[in-house]
Structure 1
């Protein structure tokens, strides 16, 4: 089974009166979300289930992904993905992942980074180096597991197959 951990794209801090949960994507974030959506499609990293935080910036990131998915993905908006810890993300994945072969979680840092690090027992060295350095907005960790159901998920049992940042995709495009 494959877990796709996608951090929301860059959000706007332009309106200081907005609650954090209501911050939208900024222009750079919209571009990065579309860049990562194309990357997912071009690399056949297609989720059949998506667990998404209810924060506006995660929902706007999701909206930019959906047109690039050639299949329908079951989407669940989960308020508990907003401002939670890595332990909470593991519990959410176990409870809501079911038997989805390609499960995407669209959420926030630091929980996203902590979850990726906690689950990655093995990795490509460059992917782990990049992940340990920083989990920037719009970044994607792809972690593979040898399990039949997400309820079997445990720390250290995954293989970090890749860690891709929007700048990596832009740099590769030339």
Structure 2
């Protein structure tokens, strides 16, 4: 069984940035990221490779999560992820090496939510910032079909906040 962990970047600053690409994590994003990294550690998640948008907020999210799961490889930054369409993302996934069994994809909404709904058996509406949606695949990546793969879990920071 193959797994892809689709991860939306942590919460980023909204103001004081001339360039959206350079937006950095804000304080809430940093706290939420620490929480989600602890969740990955608790569940002993391991990953073969990590692909991330090169945008600053995604790169920082990917690096922290790589540390949390003790990933020893090099994160691959995929320029196309920054403004990827769902069809771009699907094509990317179908071209993954079948030697990979566990993959992180760190990217942006709306694409990250839409690809999860397209590939899984779930209707989620929205992946919040720093949310993780894991899908399990029985077929090789090149043969992945829409709506025929099982959602393993959906976790995000607000699930763990006490009112």
Normalised to the residue count of structure 2, the TM-score between the two structures is 0.90
Quick one: distance in 2 between partners of 1:11 and 1:97? 31
Greater helix proportion: 1
Structure 2 unaligned regions, length at least 5? none
Q: Structure 1 residues 42, 78: closer, same or farther in 2, change over 3 A?
A: same
Residue number in structure 1 paired with 2:159: 168
* C-alpha contact 2:135 2:151 (8 A) present in aligned 1: yes
Residue number in structure 2 paired with 1:37: 37
Quick one: distance in 1 between partners of 2:15 and 2:97? 35
Residue number in structure 2 paired with 1:8: 9
Residue number in structure 1 paired with 2:108: 108
* C-alpha contact 2:44 2:69 (8 A) present in aligned 1: no
SS across alignment from 1:141: strand
Structure 1 unaligned regions, length at least 5? none
* C-alpha contact 2:17 2:23 (8 A) present in aligned 1: no
Quick one: distance in 1 between partners of 2:96 and 2:138? 18
* CA RMSD between the two structures: 1.8
Q: CA deviation at 1:63?
A: 2.0
Q: CA deviation at 1:52?
A: 0.5
Quick one: distance in 2 between partners of 1:98 and 1:81? 20
Quick one: distance in 1 between partners of 2:148 and 2:73? 25
* C-alpha contact 1:53 1:81 (8 A) present in aligned 2: yes
Q: Aligned to 1:142, which of 127, 134, 149? A: 134
Quick one: distance in 1 between partners of 2:58 and 2:150? 25
